[in-house]
Amino acid sequence: MLFEDDENLNSMDYALKKLDEGTSDIFIYTNTNKFNKLVTIIQGLNDKDAVKPILQELKKSIGTGGTYKNGIIILQGNHLEYVKKYLVNKNIIKRDRIR
């Protein structure tokens, strides 16, 4: 399989480049799942190849489980403030784009 410009699809640089191409508002909120457990939901990161390294790093740094389904990242637990700070500090999105 040939990749554009031989970029590593699992690298953070590739993820940031892809996310910049289609930057829109990111919605971060908490919700309860069907078992009454809190989950943090990140909605608006739509490129699965770009989201994968971000999700892996978030899960590792927080120490929690999570998944990416249908354009939504779901992290177990209430990590609202940490996720906001992480996305801004890594220059993934500007603070004014977070809702």
Residue 7's Cα: distance from chain center in Å? 20
Comparing C-alpha atoms, which of 59, 62, 61, 47 is closest to residue 92?
A: 47
Q: How many domains does the chain have?
A: 1
Q: Are 77 and 35 within 8 A, CB to CB?
A: no
Q: What is the dihedral of CA 30, 78, 17, 57, to 10 degrees?
A: -150
The pTM of this model reads 0.74
Amino acid at 28: I
Q: Supply the range of the domain harboring residue 76.
A: 4-97
Cα gap 76→38, rounded to integer Å: 7
Q: What is the CATH number of the domain that holds 62?
A: 3.30.780.10
Residue-wise pLDDT for 21-52, tens only, equals 555 678 999 999 888 999 999 998 877 888 88
Residue-wise pLDDT for 72-89, tens only, equals 999 999 999 999 999 999
